[in-house]
Amino acid sequence: MKPEETVDYNVKVCWHAIARMYNLQAAKFDITTSIGFVLLNIHPQEGTPATKIAPKMGLEARSLTRILKSMEEDGLIYKVGDAIDKRSVRIFLTEKGLDKKELARQTVRTFNQKVREQIPENELAIFFKVINQINGLVESKEVYK
């Protein structure tokens, strides 16, 4: 089987192309793609518990910790400890963070609009169905039991 005939190769190549495109765009706004995705996963008014962000993004907690530290140093977020549960921390966006979140949101929205202009809705529906089935297979841990 040639690499271009495998599912994983095609998913990886496509994701890397999307990530490069997003990184080029994010650099214009002095952020990274990772920071943009974190910003998109923080509630603008209520903040978000730090423990809820990593699972939403498919990240390990250690990786998120480094990103959050960088974001705090850049003035994009601030942390507030829970008064009842001292172990819990809620992440909030600063004004600068809210501005960058909006830029990230527009970037994602523009890409998705372009995709929807180029690919018919019925083909996208099949794509989403298949990609969800593949993800379900991987998440089920049934591949290599």
Q: What is the mean pLDDT of residues 14-40?
A: 96
Burial (CB count <10 Å: 0-12, 13-18, 19+), residue 71: buried
How many structural domains does the chain have? 1
Q: For residue range 89-100, what is the model confidence (pLDDT) as tens digits?
A: 999 999 999 999
Distance CA 66, CA 43 (A): 20
Confirm whether pTM is higher than 0.95. no
Q: Which of 48, 47, 49, 51 is nearest to 62 (CA)?
A: 51
Picking from 63-67, 110-114, 120-124, which range would have the lowest pLDDT averaged per residue?
A: 63-67
pLDDT of residue 111: 98
Q: Report yes or no on 30 lying in a domain.
A: yes
Q: Would the pLDDT of 42 be above 80?
A: yes
Residue 64 lies in a domain: yes
In this prediction, residues 42-70 reach a mean pLDDT of 90
Reference 37, options 12, 61, 1, 64; nearest CA is: 64
Provide the residue range defining the domain that includes 71: 3-140
Rounded to whole angstroms, the Cα distance separating 95 from 80 reads 16
In a domain, 145, yes or no: no
Query: How high is the pLDDT of residue 145?
Result: 81
CA 137 from chain centre, in angstroms, equals 21
Q: Is pLDDT larger for residue 10 or for residue 88?
A: 10
- Whichever domain contains 99, its CATH number is 1.10.10.10
Rounded to whole angstroms, how far apart are CA atoms 7 and 127?
Answer: 13
